[in-house]
Chains A and B, each alone.
Chain A
Amino acid sequence: MIEYALKIIMKNGMEGIVKEDNIKNKQVRFYNGRIGIIKEWDDKTMNIFMAKGSKTVSIELDNPSKRKIEETIEKNKKLMKLLSSSEFYGIEKNKKYKNNKIFDKDVLKNEKMISIAEESINYGGKAGIVFSSINKTIIANTNGIMEKDKNSLCYLSVRSFYKNSSCHEVSCSRSIKNVDAGVTSVAHEMAKKGIKAKKGKEGRYNVIFSPLAFANLISNVATFYSAFYVDAGYSFLTEKIGEKVASEKISIYDSGIAEDGMASSKFDDEGIATQKTTIIKNGILKNYIHNSTTAHKYKTRSTGNAGIVAPQPWNTIVLHGNSNFDEMVDEIKEGILITNLWYTRFHNYRAGDFSSVARDVAFYIKNGEMIPIKNIRVSDNMERILKNVEMLSKETKQIFWWEVENPVFTPYAMVRDVRITTS
């Protein structure tokens, strides 16, 4: 099919990319300590990008026949005549593919997924999901690329409740073998510690963010370093290449080639090889992520992050530090531990002002003692948060769940003088 589509595009004297995805997803969903529903998706889609000069069209088709492909290209060829020119300067030449990522054909096995869910329930998981996916992809473009890839992922996202307290944990990997239901017992024990929580007090605190909480903030930063969103006014990183935007302890990478990165992929939506790109190095903003079009505009090379229109992050990696959680607790003397965040919303994307609600158990820490608190919110500025990072743990964890839609590998982070507000 893919050769057929590309042949028609070339016959019409156009540049183009055709990508076919064959995705099988499965989910075991549990709540109130029992499995409620098992769901499966079997999805085959074709993405066609066509360009004539600087006039471009992108089309996504569900499971098309040859006739449908022919009709669609013909229809869109006519439509292109009516279009204005858009920013398109051709698809960049490719680099060499790197591919050492894990692939596990067993991620979709019913019994294995159900076992993880049941084990998690036994550990005290009240509600959650086990989600698995296999995506077999083939891409071809008019630069002569024709390449296949296959990707797998599996993750457990679980919330444990104890009386009025709760804690959330995830276990994420490209292989089902690495998904550990045991994280549920960690969540359960933390939830137990959270009972009798009192309302938190407003002020500025040194805050320890767990990987789940810090990943929420960093996944937002990941969108902001896409050159498209920079141009569109959605980024506090605008016009800051080469400037200090974070503490020198912070180095952040985008990687499409991480061995166990859930978003790792051999190529991007233009067929260009993915890579590891330095975004922030010791606090200095080094790069945005690019597709061929934004790279041309910024006079640089594609970073292998297409999105045809908007470059998209793969896996975001926050470089670990030398500390550990206990040392952070000792260091801050008085502060707050936030185990999870959600609903991070910006009131000014360009300035980076935002707030985010502490979901699940949080603790006020004083001289090593941890006192449960509730109803608090981080109301601060993203650049200030990054600049005030003082400690990072050695241990990092891959986070991916409902609230963190781009995978983030992150350590615990201790941030100085975070503004906390309450209702």
Chain B
Amino acid sequence: MQDMAEYALNISKADYTEIRIEKVFEQGIAFVNGEFKGIESNERKGFSIRIIKDNAMGFYFSNDFRKAKIKEGIEKAIKMAVTRKRHKINLSEEKMEEGEDIVKGKEESIDKKIDYLKDIDKIASGYSRSIFYNDELMEKYYANSEGARIYSKLPRISLHYLITVSNGRVEQMSREFGNSGGWEMVKEWNVVEHIKHDINFLKKLIKEGKKAPRKGSVILSPYITGLIAHESCGHPFEADRIMGREAAQAGKSFVKPSFIGKKYADENVSIVDDPTIKKSYGYYKYDDEGVKARRRYLIKNGIVNEFLHNRETAYEMGVKSNSAARASYGKEPIVRMANTYFMPGSYTLEEMIEDIKEGVYMKTYVEWNIDDRRYNQKYVGEEAYIIKNGEINGIAYHPVIEITTPKLYNSIDAVGNELKFYPATCGKGDPMQGIPVTTGGVNLRLREARIK
């Protein structure tokens, strides 16, 4: 890998050159209603070159590893960059890292993996169900003309299931598990317990689900607040959205550069995005521009503290990169989140509930969406409970919160003390780049929300 990278950097006549060599081995196993659907494996190895020439940017990818192809790629990227009048692109000055990041993960044989999935599947026999398992090992060497030289090796593992329970009505529950690491992470997921719980809950939901009150306080669990932190804080704080680079695809942001230092949320709210959390699904030590990863304090005590930047947006806004450049295999590095979550406060769940006269506790969701400016969002509860006079008082049937971002963040009157993380795959860029992230956080209580 290193030899090819040095060759590329030596022959390039661009003002700035970077090369990313990636080797990925992926394996996927699917079970549908107890039937094993076979194994799919991907072995990919390719190089991505990004150059800047006369302040214009070009990108080239190939999986043909001949030196002649690397030379052709650099020449093409330069030619593409200088064709016409373009955006003037500069990168912020940063300390370029040299180092490596090797994460070890326990390997397991294919028959053991299949046995494990069979065991899980058995728990849900009698119900419609699908189970998708995936693991991957990614090796990457990154080098640029400013001195960055980084080798990383990172295993990831994930599982997703969908269970359908029908009894007059049809209800579904889906869950995702995922970590950086290997087979050792599977034990921590407790998938069997989750499936048992979900089947029991769905049966009860069909039988006992009641309409939620139309208005009241709402407690949202970390399963939902993680998604909220990701969707209506992380995304609108991506500087490339704010600057309009994603306007035709992943969208814009209602957040403006002038929001820095202004109030965004209740003062008890702080949100961070932290790539350095070991074992997390969104973990990385160095970003895809050679910058060492660090925690980003997006909101500090309700105030907008910093946006997410790569070197391009950092230069445009006159700040430093905060190591948010990430690229999917064979794609350009763009501004991405890693592990985004609400920081813990002091409330226990019981304390939050006991203060509520009437309201809802939403533990999981089944549907959500948000506009491209990240202003109007909707969450539909799956496992949800009615609260009356400080106590849980039955199951709520799909309560819906449809709320604007300012209203949501300024309605938070209690922040929980127990931090939990959930994996997700975030989509952005064009062509689409799905990237592993963690959403997470704590229980939050919204006062006087409209419930549908």
Interface 1/0 per residue, B315-355 and A, CB below 8 Å:
00000000000000010100000000000000000000000
Interface check B452, CB cutoff 8 A: yes
Contact B114 A84 (CB under 8 A): yes
Interface check B7, CB cutoff 8 A: no
| Residues from 38 to 91 in B contacting A, C-beta threshold 8 Å | 38-46, 57-65, 69, 73, 76-77, 79-81, 83-87, 89
Closest beta carbon of chain B to A56's beta carbon, Å? 4
Which residue of the partner chain, among A32, A344, A349, A355, contacts B172 with CB atoms under 8 Å? A349
Residue of A nearest to B171 (CB): A348
Bound Cα distance from A76 to B40, whole angstroms: 11
Bound Cα distance from A357 to B171, whole angstroms: 23
Contact B110 A36 (CB under 8 A): no
Contact B41 A309 (CB under 8 A): no
Chain B residues within 8 Å of A206, by CB: none
Interface 1/0 per residue, A381-423 and B, CB below 8 Å:
0000000000000000000001001000000000000000111
Interface 1/0 per residue, B371-407 and A, CB below 8 Å:
1100111101010000000000000001010111001
Contact A309 B40 (CB under 8 A): yes
Contact A127 B244 (CB under 8 A): yes
| Residues from 2 to 39 in A contacting B, C-beta threshold 8 Å | 25, 27, 29, 31-32, 34-39
Bound Cα distance from A411 to B210, whole angstroms: 40
Chain A residues within 8 Å of B431, by CB: 25, 27, 131
Stretch in A42-50, A139-147, A245-253, A315-323 touching the partner: A42-50
Stretch in B29-37, B286-294, B436-444 touching the partner: B29-37
Closest beta carbon of chain A to B97's beta carbon, Å? 24
Which residue of the partner chain, among A40, A355, A357, contacts B59 with CB atoms under 8 Å? A40
Contact A402 B249 (CB under 8 A): yes
Chain B residues within 8 Å of A355, by CB: 367, 369, 378, 380
Contact A359 B371 (CB under 8 A): yes
Interface check A151, CB cutoff 8 A: no
Interface check A300, CB cutoff 8 A: no
Closest beta carbon of chain B to A195's beta carbon, Å? 16
Stretch in A94-102, A154-162, A276-284, A330-338 touching the partner: A154-162
Interface check A74, CB cutoff 8 A: no
Which residue of the partner chain, among A37, A62, A76, A158, contacts B57 with CB atoms under 8 Å? A37
Interface check A126, CB cutoff 8 A: yes
Interface check A299, CB cutoff 8 A: no
Interface check A233, CB cutoff 8 A: yes
Contact B63 A63 (CB under 8 A): yes
Chain A residues within 8 Å of B77, by CB: 40
Chain B residues within 8 Å of A127, by CB: 244-248
Bound Cα distance from A113 to B38, whole angstroms: 41
Interface check A93, CB cutoff 8 A: no
Contact A63 to B376, CB < 8 A, known contacts A31-B244, A41-B330, A86-B38: no
Bound Cα distance from A114 to B110, whole angstroms: 48
Contact A402 B430 (CB under 8 A): yes
Which residue of the partner chain, among B64, B110, B172, B377, contacts A233 with CB atoms under 8 Å? B172
Closest beta carbon of chain A to B71's beta carbon, Å? 13
Chain B residues within 8 Å of A131, by CB: 430-431
| Residues from 278 to 312 in A contacting B, C-beta threshold 8 Å | 308-309
Chain B residues within 8 Å of A379, by CB: 378, 400
Residue of A nearest to B371 (CB): A357
Interface 1/0 per residue, A209-225 and B, CB below 8 Å:
00000000000000000
Interface check B109, CB cutoff 8 A: yes
Bound Cα distance from A79 to B27, whole angstroms: 12
Chain A residues within 8 Å of B376, by CB: 357, 375, 377, 422-423
Closest beta carbon of chain B to A305's beta carbon, Å? 16
Contact A40 B60 (CB under 8 A): yes
Interface check A345, CB cutoff 8 A: yes
Contact A32 B402 (CB under 8 A): no
Interface residues of chain A: helix, strand, loop or mixed (majority): strand
Chain A residues within 8 Å of B367, by CB: 345-347, 353-355
Chain B residues within 8 Å of A41, by CB: 60-62, 330
Residue of B nearest to A84 (CB): B36
Interface check B118, CB cutoff 8 A: yes
Chain B residues within 8 Å of A42, by CB: 60-64, 69, 73
Contact A38 B58 (CB under 8 A): yes
Bound Cα distance from A393 to B170, whole angstroms: 35
Interface check B92, CB cutoff 8 A: no
Contact A39 B58 (CB under 8 A): yes
Which residue of the partner chain, among B38, B129, B382, contacts A56 with CB atoms under 8 Å? B38
Contact A375 B128 (CB under 8 A): no
Contact B244 A35 (CB under 8 A): no
Chain B residues within 8 Å of A231, by CB: 32-33
| Residues from 81 to 99 in A contacting B, C-beta threshold 8 Å | 82-88
Interface 1/0 per residue, B152-189 and A, CB below 8 Å:
00000000001110100011100000000000000000
Contact B85 A422 (CB under 8 A): no
Bound Cα distance from A393 to B80, whole angstroms: 41
Chain B residues within 8 Å of A1, by CB: none
Closest beta carbon of chain B to A72's beta carbon, Å? 7
Contact A350 to B244, CB < 8 A, known contacts A37-B57, A72-B43, A357-B371: no
Closest beta carbon of chain A to B234's beta carbon, Å? 16
Interface check A356, CB cutoff 8 A: yes
Interface check B3, CB cutoff 8 A: no
Interface check B123, CB cutoff 8 A: no
Residue of B nearest to A81 (CB): B111
Contact A29 to B430, CB < 8 A, known contacts A60-B43, A346-B367: yes
Interface check B410, CB cutoff 8 A: no
Bound Cα distance from A118 to B85, whole angstroms: 10
Which residue of the partner chain, among B63, B111, B162, B382, contacts A82 with CB atoms under 8 Å? B111
Which residue of the partner chain, among A58, A85, A351, contacts B40 with CB atoms under 8 Å? A58
User: Contacts A228-B32, A343-B369 given; 10 further ones with Cβ under 8 A?
Assistant: A44-B63, A83-B36, A88-B38, A233-B130, A345-B369, A348-B172, A350-B172, A357-B372, A375-B375, A377-B402
Hey, which bits of chain A sit against chain B, CB under 8 A? 25, 27, 29, 31-32, 34-45, 56-63, 72, 76, 79, 82-88, 110, 114, 118, 126-129, 131, 157-159, 161, 168, 228, 231-234, 308-309, 342-351, 353-357, 359, 375, 377, 379, 402, 405, 421-423
* 13 A-B contacts (beta carbon < 8 Å): A44-B64, A60-B43, A62-B63, A82-B109, A84-B36, A84-B118, A129-B249, A231-B32, A232-B162, A234-B162, A347-B380, A351-B170, A355-B369
